[in-house]
Amino acid sequence: MARDLIINERYTIPGWRIVVETTRSGGPGGQHANTTDTAVRMRLHLGSIVEVHAAVLARLRRAYPGYITKDDELLVSSGNSRSQSANLTAAYERMAEMFRENLLPPKRRRKTKPTRGSKRRRLKAKKINGEKKAMRGKIKDF
């Protein structure tokens, strides 16, 4: 059975909702990597989660479309380490971080107008840049 996914002090997803699979990992490691299942793949069905608000799940789906399967499962895998326990810890941390990033709604952008000073600085920089480029032209004989 998988361990609980602790997102923060307030939100925890029980371990029985998470499916953990181990597979052989690619890459370096020699004979050890060829004989042991060190890579970890975690699946979490988002439609069945009641521990987290639906808006958080919607933000998660929008933020990570490549990690969501057709069956509405969040799929996280890790195979960087030669150790299965290290890969499992990395996968848990990655999944928790995905949730943490989407707990709070993004700040709304307030429309603002550029200040008079910023307009002046922009125009001054354009004028200097234009003069610099004009100096690169052909030399005229008088």
Residue 92: pLDDT over 70: yes
Domain boundaries, the chain: 5-101
Mean pLDDT of 66-79: 93
Q: Is the dihedral of CA 68, 71, 74, 75 positive or negative?
A: negative
**Residue entry with tokens 């550029």:** 114
Residue 57: pLDDT over 90: yes
Residue 32 pLDDT level (bands cut at 50, 70, 90): low
**CA-based nearest residue to 7, from 93, 105, 104, 106:** 93
Residue-wise pLDDT tens digits, 109-138: 999 999 999 999 999 999 999 999 988 877
Residue 23 pLDDT level (bands cut at 50, 70, 90): confident
> What CATH architecture does domain 5-101 belong to?
2-Layer Sandwich (3.30)
Give strand pairing partners of 77: 41
Residue 34: pLDDT over 70: no
